[in-house]
């Protein structure tokens, strides 16, 4: 398995390497009688950036939450970075170390400082020394442009700052893939940009990203591929140009009509 | 021979307070340790653990503490263990306290938002680390006021140990009363001493609650 990732120079063209980071095959999931994911097939290549959109309840969050098994799927196979997720904890641990996740509600640990938030997992999961963890944390806090907030508690920060800390916290684990679950939906409008800018920065560095978001501007400029989900199915996937200018399915057209209307 | 209630009798009652406090501390520490296990069982993903701890809590919450003390004290004799009132009282109160603290702490653990569990697990933390570094520190903040409040119940509960012959404050009151025949005075003083022990704790609990209810930092 390749360890180093060549950053994509061209910001638009999808890297067509054979290096598949995430493979979902025939993934199905039910909540009791209700089927949330119907036969999902998806391959994500190293360095690829995918935006997943769709109406609420379409299963898009559930899909990315299955990748690190915050939700368990009942049928089908999910392979991440060569590890197939099964009933055993060992595989789950291996996958979760390599997959970072950013949540809509930030989910920073309120009893720890920003710096401690970033140091916890590297020290307790990877066994890094305190000094090393601190150096890494400060580097990533620098990168999300809030090193000066390191000693503060999450409650003292704005929503946008908290979300940037959450991104830094994930990056400290040096993940191969980043999952974003509506990272800007809980933010005040004036703070959306600072978070999107951080995500664009990550994209430019070649991070493999799966983003559930309604930020269509972000999708247009950053994504290699846009996936539209509805009622638990992947209805359509395409390059952003095709997706926004020539959507194939009626459901996609009506969805785009609704979210682009205002 | 009837004695008058005097300074010596009062001192005797006061010195019995140490046994009440000692028993309370043991019940509280023992109950705290077992209670944490019970609380973790109650919030576990493993069903049998949940059933076991739920059953445990229901048994101890659904029967009088006095019966529990009887069962421990006389039950030990039945199975051939010669248990002193001291040990029986400590064991009985520990079990009882652990059931109540377990249930209080279950609520505190569950009050930590789901997102905290998800964030910690998605960072790769497994159950022990997740609990220790993320969930419990947040649950403790919520738990302190009701736990201090429950300490009042533990102290008052130790009075039942008098019935199995353990000499603490209440039993000392009985002894003094048997000698003086001034029940109203003697038990009035005993009650006042209990109040003096419990009231500051109640106040502390209320103050802690007010402090933690304030927006954090």
DSSP string, chain A: ---S-PPPSSSSSPP--S-EEEEEEEEEEEETTEEEEEEEEEEEETT-EEEEE-STTSSHHHHHHHHTTSS--SEEEEEETTEE--SSHHHHHHHHHHEEEE-TT----TTS-HHHHHHHHHHHTS---HHHHHHHHHHHHHHTT-GGGTTS-GGGS-HHHHHHHHHHHHHTT--SEEEEESTTTTS-HHHHHHHHHHHHHHHHTT-EEEEE---HHHHHHH-SEEEEEETTEEEEEE-HHHHHHS--SHHHHHHHHHHH--
What's the confidence (pLDDT) of residue B217?
A: 43
Q: Is the pLDDT of residue B216 over 70?
A: no
- Provide the number of CB pairs (under 8 Å) joining chain A to chain B: 65
* Interface confidence: ipTM more than 0.95: no
Structural tokens at position B2: 């009837």
Chain B residues lying within 8 Å of A166, measured CB to CB: 119
pLDDT of residue B215: 52
Q: How confident is the model at residue A262 (pLDDT cuts 50, 70, 90)?
A: low
**Chain B, nearest residue to A113 by Cα:** B217
Domain ranges of chain B: 7-216
Q: pLDDT tens-digit profile of B86-126?
A: 999 999 999 999 999 999 999 999 999 999 999 999 999 99
The beta-carbon neighbor of B137 closest among A93, A111, A125 is: A111
Q: What is the mean pLDDT of residues B73-84?
A: 89
Cα–Cα dist A72/B144, whole Å: 35
Give the residue from B45, B119, B137, B139 with the most A CB atoms within 10 Å of its CB, the best one to mutate.
B119
| A100–B129 C-beta distance less than 8 A | no
Chain A residue numbers touching B113 (CB-CB < 8 A): 107
CA distance B151 to B141: 16
Q: CATH number for the B7-216 domain, one of 1.10.3720.10, 1.10.1040.10, 3.30.420.40, 3.40.630.30?
A: 1.10.3720.10
**For the whole model, what pTM was predicted?**
0.88
The overall average pLDDT reported for chain B is 94
Contact assignment for B116 to A109 by CB distance below 8 Å: yes
Minimum mean pLDDT range among A10-14, A30-34, B127-131: A10-14
Query: In three state form, how does the secondary structure of chain B look?
Result: CCCCCCHHHHHHHHHHHHHHHHHHHHHHHHHHHHHHHHHHHHCCCCHHHHHHHHHHHHHHHCCCHHHHHHHHHHHHHHCCCCCCHHHHHHHHHHHHHHHHHHHHHHHHHHCCCHHHHHHHHHCCCCHHHHHHHHHHHHHHHHHHHHHHHHHHHHHHHHHHHHHHCCCCHHHHHHHHHHHHCCHHHHHHHHHHHHHHHHHHHHHHHHHHHHHHHCCCC
Decide if A107 and B116 are in contact by the 8 Å CB cutoff: yes
CB-based contact, A68 to chain B, within 8 Å: yes
Residue B156 reports pLDDT greater than 90: yes
Of A103, A110, A124, the CB nearest to B133: A124
Using an 8 Å CB-CB cutoff, list chain B residues near A182: none
Give A-chain residues touching B124 at CB under 8 angstroms.
93, 96-97, 121, 125-126, 173
A40 touches B at CB < 8 Å: no
Residue B44 CA: distances (Å) to CA of A243, B48, B96, B108, B139: 45, 9, 21, 14, 15
Rounded to a whole number, what is the distance in Å from the CA of B134 to chain A's nearest CA? Answer: 7
- Using the Cβ of A97 and the Cβ atoms of chain B, whether some distance falls under 8 Å is answered with yes
Contacting residues of B for A173, CB less than 8 Å apart:
123-124
Q: Rounded to a whole number, what is the distance in Å from the CA of A253 to chain B's nearest CA?
A: 34
Indicate yes or no: CB of B134 within 8 angstroms of CB of A109. Answer: yes
Is residue A23 very low, low, confident or very high in pLDDT (cuts 50, 70, 90)?
very high
- pLDDT-above-70 percentage for chain A: 93
Confirm or reject contact between A111 and chain B (CB < 8 A). Answer: yes
Q: Which residues of A touch B137 (CB under 8 A)?
A: 111
Asked if the C-beta of A174 comes within 8 angstroms of chain B's C-beta atoms, the answer is no
Which residues in B lie closer than 8 A to residue A107 (C-beta atoms)?
113, 115-116, 118-119
> In the structure, what pLDDT confidence band is assigned to residue A260 with cuts at 50, 70 and 90?
confident
Give the chain B residue whose CA is nearest to the CA of A93.
B124
pLDDT of residue A11: 45
Contacts of B134 in chain A (CB under 8 A): 109, 120
């Amino acid at each position: 398995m390749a360890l180093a990732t060549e950053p994509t120079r061209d910001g638009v063209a999808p890297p067509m390497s054979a290096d598949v980071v995430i493979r979902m095959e025939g993934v199905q999931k039910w909540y009791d009688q209700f089927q949330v994911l119907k036969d999902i097939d998806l391959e994500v290549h190293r360095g690829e950036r995918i935006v997943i959109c769709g109406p609420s309840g379409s299963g898009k969050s559930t899909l990315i939450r299955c990748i690190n098994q915050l939700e368990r799927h009942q049928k089908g196979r999910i392979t991440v970075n060569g590890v197939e997720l099964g009933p055993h904890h060992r595989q789950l641990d291996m996958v979760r170390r390599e997959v970072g996740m950013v949540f809509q509600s930030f989910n920073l640990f309120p009893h720890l400082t920003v710096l401690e938030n970033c140091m916890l997992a590297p020290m307790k999961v990877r066994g890094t020394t305190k000094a090393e963890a601190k150096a890494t944390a400060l580097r990533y806090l620098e990168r999300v442009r809030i090193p000066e907030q390191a000693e503060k508690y999450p409650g003292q920060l704005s929503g946008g700052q908290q979300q940037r800390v959450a991104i830094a916290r994930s990056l400290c684990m040096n993940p191969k893939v980043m999952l974003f679950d509506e990272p800007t939906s809980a933010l005040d409008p004036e703070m959306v940009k600072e978070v999107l800018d951080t995500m664009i920065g990550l994209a430019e560095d070649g991070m493999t990203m799966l983003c559930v978001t309604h930020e269509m501007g972000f999708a247009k400029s950053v994504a290699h591929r846009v996936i539209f989900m509805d009622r638990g199915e992947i209805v359509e996937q395409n390059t952003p140009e095709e997706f926004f200018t020539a959507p194939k399915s009626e459901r996609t057209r009506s969805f785009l009509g609704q979210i682009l209307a205002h | 021979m009837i004695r008058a209630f005097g300074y010596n009798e009062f001192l005797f009652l006061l010195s019995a307070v140490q046994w009440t406090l000692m028993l309370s501390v043991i019940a509280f520490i023992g109950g705290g340790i077992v209670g944490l296990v019970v609380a973790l069982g109650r919030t576990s993903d493993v069903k049998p653990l949940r059933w076991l701890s739920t059953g445990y809590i229901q048994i101890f919450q659904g029967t009088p503490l006095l019966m529990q003390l009887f069962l421990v004290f006389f039950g030990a004799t039945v199975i051939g263990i010669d248990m002193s009132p001291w040990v029986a009282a400590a064991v009985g109160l520990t079990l009882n306290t652990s059931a109540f603290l377990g249930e209080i702490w279950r609520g505190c653990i569950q009050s930590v938002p789901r997102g905290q569990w998800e964030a910690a697990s998605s960072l790769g933390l497994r159950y022990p680390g997740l609990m220790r570094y993320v969930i419990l520190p947040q649950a403790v903040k919520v738990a302190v006021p009701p736990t201090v409040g429950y300490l009042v119940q533990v102290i008052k509960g130790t009075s039942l140990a008098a019935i199995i012959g353990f000499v603490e404050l209440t039993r000392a009151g009985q002894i003094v009363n048997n000698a003086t025949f001034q029940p109203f005075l003697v038990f009035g003083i005993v009650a006042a001493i209990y109040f003096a022990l419990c009231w500051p704790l109640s106040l502390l609990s209320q103050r802690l609650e007010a402090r933690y209810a304030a927006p954090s930092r």
